[in-house]
Amino acid sequence: MPYFYGPEMLLRIPALLIAITFHEYAHARVSYALGDPTPKWTGRLTLNPLAHLDPIGLLMLWFFKFGWAKPVMVDPRYYSNSKTGIMLTSVAGPITNLMLAFVTLTLLKLNMFSGIFEIFLETLFSYNLVLAVFNLIPIPPLDGYKILSVFLPLNLSDVFFQLETYGPLILIFLVYFDFVDILLDPLISLALYILDTLTNMLIF
């Protein structure tokens, strides 16, 4: 169901832009650092949100908290080790979102902000946490699918790659029938517990 209430609705736009931009930039930066010039050629080595946005995906995220950004094009042939390169490039996005969630949660616990800025930080924290965990689901085109594919034996990876055509449809089905929530809730709770513990250790 869409969410149409409170200031949080308007604050989703900048929070989404930050979470998505840093996520996609991390993919591009790591791939480029591993020797792949494709992200630079395609204009993705930037923190300009316009380079990373898919308009429909952004609207879906804003209204339904499920959507997508423009995928970063990479070419694993430039990596010295293609499997390691794919894994590092894929995991860079979720790790970056978790780092942003950690920083945001730390700021919230310091009680330095109030009012609308506090609501913005809460929204930013929520999006980074959910985006990190959601992208680790092993279904194409999510990062978890690419990470898992690195560890599969050749006979299984060929079968797994055939899912790419149906991945978006599978995701829509899972989201529509709330299976994603059932899967994500315990994982988000675990990630929240870990971040909460780490921030407490830092602050206290």
Angle subtended by helix axes 167-176 and 179-203, to nearest 10:
80
Reported in sequence order, the residue ranges of the chain that DSSP labels E, i.e. its strands, are: none
Q: Which amino acid is at 188?
A: I
What is the rounded radius of gyration, in angstroms, for the C-alpha atoms of the chain? Answer: 17
Nearest-5° Cα angle at 122, 53 to 139? 50
Give dist(CA 17, CA 27) in Å, integer. 16
Q: Which of 24, 118, 122, 164 is catalytic?
A: 24
Total residues found in the chain within this entry: 204
**d(C-alpha 150, C-alpha 163), whole Å:** 15
CA within 13 Å, CB half, 16: 24
> Is residue 26 within 8 Å of 93, Cβ to Cβ?
yes
**β strands within 4-134, DSSP E:** none
Is 122 among the catalytic positions? no
* Catalytic residue annotation: 24
